[in-house]
Amino acid sequence: MLAACRGPQSALDPAGPAAAEIATGWWLMVGGACVAWTIVIALALLAMRRGRALAAAAGQRLILVGGVALPTVLLAALLTYGTLASDRVTGRGEDAAHVVRVTARQWQWQFDYLDRDGAVRATSIDRLVLPLGEMVEFEVRAEDVIHSFWIPRLGGKVDAIPGRTNVLRLRADRAVPMRGQCAEFCGLEHARMAFAVEVRDARGYRAWLAGQARGDIEGGLR
């Protein structure tokens, strides 16, 4: 079970700040659920042990504590954490150094790497190349049906909707194997609508962009 928490498409093996916040929130929810489950089981065993000797007043206290107070405390804690972590999850608190336009279509992902003027510097298909340690803004859209852009090790997902552009910011802090996936059922080939994610250092990323601009074989539309 622990081995299943790692890998190129595991949201519990984060490689960026947004995914790290999401993973932390997940572990907090698991911990809270375990605490609540333990308390409920302990109270159930206590009730079965006492049987009919359990007073009505004790039953009312159990309802107030277990049914009102405990869920309120747990949900309030999760809401507080989610609110405080929202900027780190969305990347709004940091300026984007790069912009990539993402176009989803059946059954393909196209990535256009834009310069400061919005012109396309490079293009890749089903392969996303990212700079290490730098924030990237993704402009996500679709050409046909609704898709969903998701890189589990970097952050949350965002829908790709025809006629609309959604924005997501992600940063890769580790150059580890990663895989992106369409997270919205978009047709019979949905399961195969995935893409590789490659993280390069600043020098390697600039060299790759330059190679794409020159039309090198290593670049192309791969």
Q: Which helix (H) or strand (E) holds 46?
A: helix 17-50
Taken in order of first residue, the domains within the chain and their CATH numbers are 3-90 (no CATH), 98-214 (2.60.40.420)
- Chain segment 24-81, per-residue pLDDT in tens: 888 888 888 888 888 888 877 877 776 665 555 566 777 787 778 878 887 888 788 8
pLDDT of 1: 65
Mark 56-77 as b/e (b = at least 16 C-beta within 10 Å): eeeeeebeeeeeeebeeebeee
Return d(Cα 176, Cα 198) in angstroms, integer: 8
Is residue 129 within 8 A of residue 200, CB to CB? The reply is yes
Q: What local confidence, expressed as pLDDT, does residue 218 receive?
A: 45
Question: Which residue intervals of 51-183 are DSSP H helices?
Answer: 56-62, 70-90
